[in-house]
Structure 1
């Protein structure tokens, strides 16, 4: 498939589980070592064929299903600063890394904070074009699955079952993000059609519910019901695909196409604790 012929796919959990070739591109240890050497030197040489394959596959999978997964991309035992430097070089083909908090941090390591790993992270979209996650260490005691849901599939189901709710979700909603990176107040439909005809989404369950308390417009009974219906659909077992990232795995998500969350996990303190490196990216005209 090419850029002009790739078809957007509305998928559920079973579809992705049986068609990993659509979204996952494993690489060998030898390829990983070649990429690591080129990335640390900041010039493409021996790993150039892998670079081209990675660029082509990622572009196609992001267009078709909304995300791409590359197992074994980087040796997670390397120094964290070296990993960030190498991954920053590789990601130049994807776009520009942008600040993801008010302090201007380009990279953050996600880990358990005072036991919050025990709490499920609800479905949402980050405020950037691409969300980049690199697993440094999965949870030792299990859990911590990344949950992914297709905006096209969710929209199709709600449109069939509750067209009145879909109409409400396609109206403008206020997301007050005061104090965070980027635009402070975003007014956007939760489900919409993008310029290229693909289904789009923008959703932050806590932010949209708390925005009236920050001075945003109050939510009507119709809007509260629409949020409840959306959440009910998202949590149906056949909707979301759960992906457990292993150490060294890369996941890149198109935020306007895929909602994501995280299942609970129980962690252990110290170097064996769950750690995931996160970056936000802007793709510009890409």
Structure 2
């Protein structure tokens, strides 16, 4: 990395699996204990060295690969209220926590609601700089992988296979988010070049497809085709990497660089039901692209 230029890594699913050292950091019981002892008290002392290691790793990984995974960050025995307070303290090093919805919720626990876990959650980008997921409990009977795709790799593949679709995706699109937290209408390319030279993305397949019904500009036949091409590419096995998160695992995703989704899962009610703690962060890094 030189100055403001990021050494960006565009990756396939095989690349990401082979180079876990670039984006995944295992945490041992001693490190976890030191970190959480300070986090519970709300001040850094004995865990300062662990904090520095975590902070440096997350900064490097999210700037190069676009994601950072830390295995075993959380003590699963910590009561939920204490967990949220301590976790929020740790996250101060990475950005400012922002609301996720119109009600102003700063944290949300993602769980199966009315059987929606049985369906695939399509690739998209959240409307924040960094998406943070902390696994409280994986799915009891399997599934629920967090699916990841590199915007740069998708861009490069489309440039080779469908430059016409890529040209359309690099134009401005309207995302009507009325009623949600943050900007109500976002006009942005779906794939674009960011000010730091990286390939960026902003995508919400249902929102962009339904925006014309809310008063946005109608989509042309060329645009509908480009969306279909993008969705087909995102679900190719060589593009989509599936990450199974275990109890206590942390995942931070830079939304402007990596698209994410979730595979279906089979759950059961009670303490073994799948639960992910979600936090949205805004940071000070320049990551706005063309049209944003």
TM-score, normalised to structure 1, is 0.98
- Structure 2 unpaired stretches of 5+: 287-292
Equivalence map 1:144-155=2 (5 Å): 144-155=144-155
Structure 1 counterpart SS, 2:135: strand
Q: Over aligned residue pairs, what C-alpha RMSD do you find?
A: 1.2
State the shift of 1:76 in Å. Answer: 2.2
Which residue is 2:290 aligned to? none
Distance in 2, Cα, partners of 1:251 & 1:148:
11
Q: Deviations over 1:117-144 (max 9, x none)?
A: 0000000000000000000000010000
Name the counterpart of 2:289: none
Q: Distance in 2 between matches of 1:162 and 1:272?
A: 44
Where do 5+ consecutive residues of structure 1 fail to align?
A: none
Q: Is residue 160 of structure 2 the alignment partner of residue 165 of structure 1?
A: no
Q: Report the Cα offset of residue 65 of structure 1.
A: 0.6
Q: So what's the TM-score if we normalise by structure 2?
A: 0.96
Q: Which residue of 2 aligns with 1:19?
A: 19
Task: Provide the residue aligned with 2:183 in structure 1.
Answer: 183
The verdict on how the C-alpha distance between 1:5 and 1:191 changes in structure 2, with shifts beyond 3 A counting, is closer
Q: Does the alignment pair 1:76 with 2:76?
A: yes
Distance, in Å, in 1 between the alignment partners of 2:257 and 2:174 is: 19
Q: Distance in 2 between matches of 1:159 and 1:87?
A: 41
Q: Structure 1 residue 240: deviation in Å?
A: 1.1
Q: Deviations over 1:170-225 (max 9, x none)?
A: 00000000000000000000000000000000000000000000010000000000
Report whether the alignment pairs 1:194 with 2:194: yes
1:259 aligns with 2:242: no
Q: How many residues align?
A: 286
1:219-234 matches, within 5 Å, as: 219-234=219-234
Runs (4+) off by over 2 Å: 1-6
How many Å separate the matches in 2 of 1:115 and 1:217?
33
Change (3 A) 1:101 1:260: same
Q: Which residue of 1 is the match for residue 134 of structure 2?
A: 134
Query: Are the equivalent residues in 2 in contact too, given 1:124–1:204 (CA < 8 A)?
Result: yes
C-alpha distance in 2 between matches for 1:240 and 1:155: 14
Aligned counterparts of 1:244 and 1:3: Cα–Cα separation in 2: 35
CA distance in 2, matches of 1:40, 1:147: 31
